[in-house]
Amino acid sequence: MRRVLMTGAAGGVAGMIRPLLAGIYPELVLSDLRAPAGLGATERFVPADLTDAAAVEAAVAGIDGIIHLGGHSVEGSWDTILQANIIGCYNLFEAARKAGVKRVVFASSNHAIGFYRRRRRIGTDVTVRPDSRYGVSKAFGEALGALYADKHGMRVTCLRIGNVGDRPLDRRRLSIWLSPRDLVQLVRIGLEHPDIRFEIMYGVSGNAVGWWDNDRAFQLGYRPEDRSEDHREQALAAQAKLPPDPIGDVFQGGTFCSAEFTADPDRAGR
Ligand code: 15L
C-alpha cells in the first residue's frame, strides 16, 4: 500500500485516526466536500462529492487502497441517505473497480444489526436487522462489498463500527466502544492482511461487556489495546443523566431503534 485514499476525511472519525496513520503509508489522499484541518506532510486533499461519479473517479485515480468513511454518519431523510450512502457508496466501489483498486475498507455500522436484543450475543453471520434508513444503507454497502469481492476480486473489509471515541459515552457504549488506535489496527488488517477476500468484522475494542463475537478479527491478528471497563464509572455517571428509553434500551442500536418506532416492542427485532 503506497497511496491510500480516505473518504469522509473532514469527519470526526477521520480526525481521530489520521494522526495515527501518519507515517504508515507513504501517501494518504484525503477526500471530502471541504478540506480537513491541518494537512500533514504525507497528506494531500482532493475535493470530492460522493454523489458525483466523475469527481469520485478523479479521487480514486492512482490509489492502492481505500478507507471509505464518507457519507452521512447518522439517521437522515431518505433523500439524504439515498444520495450520500447508497449512490455515494456505489460510486465509490464502481470507481475503485474501474481504477483497479485492490482493497477497500468500508465503514459499516452497528446499526446494520441494531434490532438484535442486548441480551443476545451475535456473530457476523447473522441476518442483518437494520434499525434505521442509515442502518439499511450500511447493509447495502456490505452487500455491495461482497459483490465487488466475488465478481471482481476486490479485497473488501466491512467494519461494523460501534462508537469511536476517546472513551465510552454511556452504558450502551460500554458494549460497543472502539478506541481510535484499535480502529487503526482493524483498518490496517483490511488494507494489508494477505488472507482478506471479503470480511465482516466488528469495530469494537476489547470490552468485557460486548455483544459481538469478533472471532474472525482475532483470527486475522486483531489484538485490541483498549477496553471500556477502564472508563466504566464515567460512562455510568453520564448514563444517569440521560432520559429513560424503554425501547432503545432493549436493543443494541439504542436510540436509532426507538426513533420513529411504532411497533409492538415484544415482537420487534430478534
Ligand atoms: C454510528 O454508526 C454513528 O456513525 C455514530 O455517530 C454513532 O451514532 C454510533 O453509530 C453509535 O451507535 O453510537
The predicted-structure confidence for 197-207, as pLDDT tens digits, reads as follows: 999 999 999 99
CA distances (Å), origin 185, targets 9, 118, 222: 18, 26, 7
Catalytic residues: 134
Q: How confident is the model at residue 51 (pLDDT cuts 50, 70, 90)?
A: very high
> What are the tens digits of pLDDT across the range 109-163?
999 999 999 999 999 999 999 999 999 999 999 999 999 999 999 999 999 999 9
**For ligand 1, is residue 175 a contact (CB within 6 Å)?**
no
What's the pLDDT band for 25 if we cut at 50, 70, 90? very high
Cell numbers linked to 200: 465482516
Find out whether the beta carbon of 54 lies less than 6 Å from any atom of ligand 1.
Answer: no
- pTM (2 decimals)? 0.98
Any atom of ligand 1 within 6 Å of the Cβ of 171: no
CATH 3.40.50.720 fits 3-258, yes or no: yes
Average pLDDT over residues 174-189: 98
SS3 66: strand
Asked whether the beta carbons of 148 and 98 are under 8 A apart, the reply is no
Per-residue pLDDT, 233: 98
Residue 3 confidence class, pLDDT cut points 50, 70, 90: very high
